Chains A and B, each alone.
Chain A
């Protein structure tokens, strides 16, 4: 335990002392928030308003709250994974600059080393993503606040789960990286592609049926949906309260992936949580097994 604690402390210190790495990670969600609010908020608002029947008069704050919830859930869904990839790069850098040799000449087990990278990366990512969530909540408060305390707690829980998922996923990918160039390439690919794959940049409901089915096998999709459900639950309640027909509300939920379907069967929120938890466990097991295999291979 002493070894694990010391390694976690070292890894977290290195992450926060590397100002380039820290600010790049922190700035990702902030830039996303600014870009979304500047360019996409109006698009979302127009789509939402055009989808409403003509006789409906909806308060601005409700529309803003709905659009804001959608933006915030998208930003957090992307950030939890991309920031995890960024913070977890230390394990690759240690390989690249030879520090790993210095750690492995000591009697520390490879599983402890691997776990220390995971936990440290998880903690660093969590700090950044919770900060981002705080900023997002401020943004929602300004746009239109419909969240209950329970919703806020659930959002923190969703971020926690998605950070675990993102960190476990990045740990596995990092096992195969050996150079600085590979680190940059993976970072670019994840930043550019993950938002589409998880339904953050565009709702999955707008993709073709075939693609929707493929994406329904990816756990990240359910993470986005969890965030979206919790960010918008209060908005939907308000819609019902002011007289939106439940069919309309369900239609909105369908269109922005609050309702997700696995081969035409709706996936309930507890099941989404279960999928993410199982995904994290499976990814961690794969990580431990692959780390063991790779370290034995490295000794040959």
Chain B
């Protein structure tokens, strides 16, 4: 599959602070790419360089085969950005907002009306077009932010913590829409998020810490590499669990035992078939991976 973003040896410092250090990674066309890190890890700096808001100190950034340094405007046309906080004009209506932004890409008149209709149908805001943006709910506003980012049919959608502060239902709705877009338009999604369950659905995850990549791979690879498996046993007594001679904890009606990997879990089960009557084996979560890699927790928008 084609690499749509290629970043190599990217460096950026602010005075003495090295925000990004020798960063290299690539994003494949059509994939959901998650970029994780605590505040100050270098995520925003990288995104700002990618979007042409910041100049890098060294390294190369290629977007769809074009060097960002040589053709910044072409790169900007390939990117649609949803900022963490809505950056649209609160006193204007949805239509006025989208019309003014579409014109920045040369989309006006009939072409704009057609695109607006498409997006309004896709993101379900046909009934909001005449409403003032400042009077919309958080979820409604987020849909308009996404529509703004998609106005010019970008190849890459950059989502900078797009669901922070949204209720679970709206988050789910937005992810359904984004999933639909990826399928229909082969859209590449570059995501930063504090929600680990969102990162778990990504095709590739990169974890940043102190401006450097500390882990990279698919969620499964990362879980296998940095987090063990968990076996939960149900319908047995504590005495029976103790016979396994493994450390355990009681959680949600079962006894949970941590094992290094699935092979170790299989071995434990085969050695004690009488104890394993009702059980489940699950992989570690992305939270566990993040904790193992960075030594920090990153759960639901809060760094702990």
Contact = CB atoms under 8 A, between A and B. Distances in A.
A103 B83 CA distance: 12
Interface in A99-155: 99, 101-108
A14 B108 contact: no
B100 A7 contact: yes
Contacts of A13: 92, 96
Interface in A1-55: 2-3, 5-7, 9-10, 13-14, 17-18
B53 interface: yes
Given A18-B91, A299-B53, A2 B103 contact: yes
A40 to B, nearest CB: 37
By DSSP majority rule, is chain B's interface helix, strand, loop, or mixed?
loop
B300 to A, nearest CB: 23
B55 interface: yes
Contacts of A105: 51-53, 76, 79, 81
Nearest to B77: A107
Interface string B91-117: 110001001111111101000000000
Nearest to B73: A107
Contacts of B74: 107
A299 B54 contact: yes
Interface residues of B, number: 31
A98 B91 CA distance: 15
Contacts of A17: 91-92
Contacts, number: 73
A51 B79 CA distance: 71
A103 B53 contact: no
Contacts of A2: 103, 106, 108
B103 A101 contact: no
Contact of B104 (A98, A99, A106, A299): A106
A300 interface: yes
Interface string B42-58: 00000000011111000
Contacts of B85: 98
Contacts of A108: 104
A13 B89 CA distance: 10
A17 B97 CA distance: 13
Given A106-B105, A107-B73, A108-B104, A6 B53 contact: no
Given A105-B76, A299-B55, 10 more contacts: A6-B99, A6-B103, A7-B104, A10-B92, A17-B91, A17-B92, A99-B87, A102-B101, A107-B73, A300-B55
The 8 closest A-B pairs by CB, nearest first: A6-B103, A102-B87, A106-B104, A107-B73, A10-B100, A17-B91, A107-B76, A299-B55
